[in-house]
């Protein structure tokens, strides 16, 4: 466990982000349960909706697979596969259809070369390393009195923050595309679109919370390093 966990300044700084993350989790769960219990008027399963939307954009080469777990739905740009959880893929609820269309939105972003998505994808290898190495480097530098390691920790964690920041427009755009697709194709009625929007908005809040958490942690590292110099 990192020393920051015992630092009152760290605890005070991340409380707002923790509260938002907790609210986001509750909001996602309650909203998904609410609209997950409402069958769409068309009665088309989320998997069938995904296939229809993908094909309409010339994405017949994008395979749809099932994946275990809850809220594990995602589009993999490396393998060009859209993966839906069992609870979503086989459901014809408003919530499931909205989530599936959101993932189709990512597939369309990939096809069109949507710049924020391309940038985020390019950051994945760096972010995977940076997010795991940043804190060890930072606190090793603090304990050993080595300023270069402290700075390296901050730089690495900044990469993780940039990744979170660029994720926001990617997710918001995918949701916007999803709602337009569902409305334009008539898969969901206008009243059902409002339900799907509520589900996707709740999901987006989790990304906002994660970004706020990352930003506050970076701010803590910067202030902690300055306090060390002083």
Helix, strand, coil share of the chain (percent; to 5)? 75, 5, 15
CA distance linking residue 224 with residue 230, whole number of Å: 10
Would you call 103 a catalytic residue per the annotation?
yes
Q: 63 has which bridge partners?
A: 81
Instruction: Give me the residue label for tokens 């300055």.
Output: 226
Options 33, 47, 65, 103, the catalytic residue: 103
Catalytic residues: 103
């Amino acid at each position: 466990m990192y020393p920051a966990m015992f630092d009152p300044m760290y605890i005070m700084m991340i409380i707002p982000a923790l509260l938002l993350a907790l609210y986001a989790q509750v909001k996602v769960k309650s909203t998904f349960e609410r609209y997950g219990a409402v069958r769409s008027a068309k009665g088309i399963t989320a998997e069938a909706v995904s296939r229809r939307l993908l094909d309409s954009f010339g994405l017949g080469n994008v395979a749809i697979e099932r994946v275990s777990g809850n809220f594990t739905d995602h589009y993999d740009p490396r393998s060009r596969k859209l993966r839906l959880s069992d609870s979503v893929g086989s459901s014809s609820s408003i919530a499931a259809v909205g989530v599936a269309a959101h993932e189709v939105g990512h597939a369309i972003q990939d096809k069109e070369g949507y710049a924020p998505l391309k940038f985020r994808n390019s950051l994945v290898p760096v972010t995977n390393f940076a997010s795991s190495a940043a804190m060890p480097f930072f606190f090793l530098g603090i304990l050993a009195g080595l300023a270069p390691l402290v700075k390296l920790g901050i730089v690495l964690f900044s990469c993780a923050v940039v990744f979170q920041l660029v994720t926001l427009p990617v997710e918001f755009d995918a949701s916007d595309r999803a709602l337009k697709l569902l409305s334009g194709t008539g898969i969901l009625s206008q009243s059902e679109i409002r339900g799907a929007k509520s589900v996707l908005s709740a999901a987006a809040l989790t990304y906002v919370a994660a970004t706020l958490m990352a930003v506050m942690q970076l701010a803590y590292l910067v202030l902690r390093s300055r306090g060390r110099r002083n």
